[in-house]
Amino acid sequence: MIQRQSRSLIRERIHKRIRKQLRGTTARPRLAVFRSLKHIYAQVIDDQTGRTLVSASSHEKAETTKSGGNIEGAKDIGRLVAERAQAKGIKAVVYDRGGYLYHGRIKALADAAREAGLEF
């Protein structure tokens, strides 16, 4: 009998494989993305010190963010995290898609962050 793994377990396995290659440094921190059904979260992380430098999520109560469960909300979060990162002096990051396919909300967040001035 074949046992099926859940999507979250498969995503975690893919994410571990990706993280073997990606490292956020002080000069070029890691932009990590987490996606749930209703929200999307983005963090800029310095892996050398183990600190989150900047974060943004659709969970925040602000007029600028729409729902995180759609592409427009992901674009808002991408712009917001890029603006906050640039305010802290961060210009270049390494993009960590978190085991998700580079499609839909994950791609929209990345494109919006690039348009707002982050380099990756």
pLDDT mean by block of 10 residues, the chain; 120 residues: 86 93 92 95 96 93 73 95 97 96 97 96
Tokens read off for 61: 């109560």
pLDDT for residue 2? 76
Give percent helix, percent strand, percent coil of the chain, each to the nearest 5.
35, 20, 45
Question: What is the CB neighbour count within 10 angstroms for residue 113?
Answer: 28
Domain 7-115 indexed as CATH 3.30.420.100 = yes
Radius of gyration of the chain from Cα atoms?
Answer: 14
Amino acid code (one letter) for 113:
A
pLDDT for residue 56? 95
Sheet holding 40-46, edge to edge: 51-57, 40-46, 30-35, 94-96
pLDDT for residue 28? 95
- Alpha helices, H only, 4-118: 7-19, 71-87, 105-115
